[in-house]
Structures are given as structure tokens and as C-alpha cells.
Amino acid sequence: MSVSSMPNGPIQDQIAALGPWFYEFDLGPQGRTASLLPPEVLPIHTTRLEMVTHAVDAHFGPRLAQVRCLDVGCHEGYYSVAMARKGVREILGIDVRETNLRKARFVAQTLGLSNIRYQQDNCEELDPGVLGRFELCLFLGILYHLENPMLALRKVAAMTTELCVVETQVADEVEGLAEWGAREWTRPYHGILALIDESGEFDAGNRETGASPLATCPSPKALEAMLKHAGFRRIEWIAPPPDAYEQHLRGKRVVCAAYK
């Protein structure tokens, strides 16, 4: 959306016109947005950001000013804005829904952040040859909504030159032996992909689902194996802070740093 096509009028009127909002943005003297999430769930965003920031700072340190960042499934731009405020040189945010991108562009414009741009795209259909390569990739809160997570991870890996930070819901681990052509031929399996049918939410227009109603949620071991097969050489699990959102504390949501 161009600046000229943004809602006109006072900032508070524009906030209302673009709502409802998923994230809380502090726009300084311009006001703030109110999230539609219940108060007990809101800490998921700040916990995720704290864990992501830990991984980013530990790896890049003072080099952030030279880093290009790709924010896959950027939603309303909450993490793009955070990276821009930290001084990342250039951020490209992509999301499958233009309704999310309108809000992201509004926030960036209101805050005067010229180092962010947004475009509509499906992370399962990205073209690495067109988008280019990025030192940092953020892949937050989206993997478990995808029908083809392995395909998306391969595309993300092809565009990441140093670090990809992944945050996702995870399923419980399952391990065992599978017959592999005959009764006496077996292969061990470690980790699972749980198929989740989001048809009800998807058909109702819920904007927090993926691009299709079939979601594939990995277990931690499955996620680690997928990242390695996608082309990341090393995986580091980021520990949640003591005051983290309860799902992160219980290991039902995880953050990992995947290094090329």
C-alpha cells in the first residue's frame, strides 16, 4: 500500500480504522494500539521478542548496522519494527495477508522507520532468486500453521547466509520403529509432524491461520531434523527467561537459532 492510500485523519482515527489489532504497538505521542488477545496471552509476544533479541545480539553484536533481515510471516510488523529500532540496516517483511501489511506499513510510517519495506507473498511460494539473500531471517509463529513446512524451510535456508531464528508451537515427541518394506526391515523414527485441521477457523476468515486450512506442527526433534536437512549446520535452543510466557516455560513453544 502506498502512503497516499493509507487511511487519512488523526492517528487515533487511523488506528481504529485499521483495527482490530493483534499486537500492541507503542507509537509514542501518537498513541498505541490495543491487542484483541486476552491479557493472559499477551506475554507471548514480549517473551518471543526477548528470546529472539538474545539470539540476534549474541550472534551479530555491533554488526547489526550492516545486516539485512528477512521477516517471514511478518504479520503487523511487530518484530520488523523491533529490529529496525535496534539499528538493522534493512528489513524486508513478507506476509500472505494484505490486511496485515496495511497495519505494518502504517506503524513503520508513523514511527518514521525508513529501513523497513513490506510486500505480500506466501512463504511456501517464495523465490530465493528474486528476493535475494539475508544475513538474518526471522521465522516466528508461522511454521506450525503451514501445510508444507519443509518446503518453506528449504526456501528460507536458501535465503539465509548466517542466522535464522525460528519460533513455533511444538507437538509432543513420539519415537519408535516403522516397518520399511517388510516386517523384518524397520527404521527408527524420532519426532513427529502433527497434522492440525484449522478448517473451522480458516473458513470463518480467522487471519491467524495459514494460507490453507491444513497445519503441520513439528515436535522439537522433528524441527531440529528439518532445519538440518534444510541446510542449517547447527541448531541452538534458546532458553526462556524466568518470567516467560507459560507455554515457553513448559516447552510447548520453542525458539531456536539455526546457523548456516
Residue 70, domain extent: 3-173+218-259
Phi-psi region of 88 (alpha: psi -120 to 50; beta: other; left: phi over 0): beta
pLDDT, tens digit (0-9, with 9 covering 90-100), for 172-197: 999 999 999 999 999 999 899 999 99
Residue environment code for 241-257, b if the CB has 16+ CB neighbours within 10 A, otherwise e: eeebbebbeeeebbbbb
CATH number at residue 253: 3.40.50.150
**With bands split at pLDDT 50, 70 and 90, how would you rate the model's confidence at 1?**
very low
The mean pLDDT value for 27-40 works out to 92
Does 88 fall in a domain? Answer: yes
**Would you say 238 and 55 are in contact if contact means Cβ atoms under 8 Å apart?**
yes
Q: What angle do the packed helices 220-230 and 149-159 form, to 10 degrees?
A: 50
Please report the pLDDT score of residue 5 as a whole number.
46
DSSP 8-state class, residue 9? S
Does 187 fall in a domain? Answer: no
Q: What is the separation of C-alpha 29 from the centre of its chain, rounded to a whole number of angstroms?
A: 28
Does 130 fall in a domain? Answer: yes
Q: How many residues does the chain have?
A: 260
Does 203 fall in a domain? Answer: no
Does 179 fall in a domain? Answer: no
**With bands split at pLDDT 50, 70 and 90, how would you rate the model's confidence at 2?**
very low
Strands 175-182 and 185-190: antiparallel
